[in-house]
Amino acid sequence: MKRSTAGRALLIALAIGGAASAARAASPEWEAPAISHKDVRPYFDDVAIKGLVLPPPPAEGSLADADDVAAVMRGQQVDAARRAVAEEDGAWLYDRFAEAFGRPIRRDSAPALVALLNRVERQVSGPVFAAKKDHGRTRPYQRLQLSHVCGEVKAPAPDPDAKKRTSYPSGHSAYGWAAALILARLAPERAPAILQRAMDYGESRVICGMHFPSDVAAARVVATAVVARLDRSPEFLADLEQVRQELARAEQGR
């Protein structure tokens, strides 16, 4: 899928399945993607970010909507290797950034880092789910007949009247972008690779038929706003310093 150089540069500037999955699930090397948000305390009350107002998604039939649909259909044509990456991206989160970050992101070796990321993801979930409820956008696979949908053996038939409409913004993309912003701060020398991984992670949601590109773009706006607000939290800044110390100790032990 093609991206404009300007679009990629802007997003970076804002920041300055089967056998493999089973093996990962059985191994302590990998973190499961699911975060039980109810068991994780955010850094600040969601009301502190209520001022974030996303524009509505493109109206069906508009030129912007046509661009969204065209991008989804192009995503259906990617090769098997890229589709496999998209499937894995849909099933996992932190480990999908480990290579770009340069070290594993798991509880046994980096507990402070994982705890911080979990709290950041919980923080992002509030405005994401509020926006999903406000906008109620139909997902691509609910609206279009696709040939591939991640997690499905056979792509389902369209269901434009589906009651659950949660396409805008993309939760996966918001979590991935927020994690990337934190990881890029912790490893600035690896920031380009980390942010590129986050771009690809969001693109995977389009390839999967789960989201339109505008859902992914809106997710990055939410994540960027939340992470910026976190800089006003003394607790977050203290946790971030603990993570830096944890990573420094791990580096000395290599």
**What are the extents of the domains in the chain?**
49-252
| Residue 169 DSSP code | S
Beta carbons of 149 and 209 less than 8 angstroms apart: yes
Cα distance from N-terminal residue to C-terminal residue, the chain:
39
Predicted local confidence at residue 47, as pLDDT: 66
Distance CA 41, CA 120 (A): 9
Predicted local confidence at residue 182, as pLDDT: 99
Distance CA 130, CA 96 (A): 26
Residue 153 CB coordination number (10 Å) = 5
Distance CA 207, CA 149 (A): 8
Dihedral in degrees, nearest 10, Cα atoms 174, 203, 21, 107: -30
Residues with Cβ within 8 Å of 196's Cβ and at least 6 positions away in sequence, in order, are 100
How many Cα neighbours within 13 Å face the side chain of 32? 6
What are the structure tokens assigned to 199, written together? 């771009």
Amino acid at site 108:
D
Matching CATH number, 49-252, of 1.10.390.10, 1.20.144.10, 1.20.1440.230, 1.20.140.10:
1.20.144.10
Predicted local confidence at residue 53, as pLDDT: 74
pLDDT (tens place) for every residue of the chain, 254 residues total: 444 433 443 343 343 333 333 333 333 333 444 445 667 999 998 766 666 778 999 999 999 999 999 999 999 999 999 999 999 999 999 999 999 999 999 999 999 999 999 999 999 999 999 999 999 999 999 999 999 999 998 999 999 889 999 999 999 999 999 999 999 999 999 999 999 999 999 999 999 999 999 999 999 999 999 999 999 999 999 999 999 999 999 988 76
Phi, psi values for residue 3, rounded to 5°: -125, 145
Distance CA 175, CA 93 (A): 8
The set of catalytic residues is 172, 205, 211, 215
Distance CA 188, CA 192 (A): 8
Beta carbons of 219 and 174 less than 8 angstroms apart: yes
Identify whether 169 is preceded by a cis peptide bond (ω within 30 of 0). Answer: yes
Question: Is 175 buried (19+), middle (13-18) or exposed (0-12) by CB count in 10 A?
Answer: buried
State the pTM of this model. Answer: 0.85
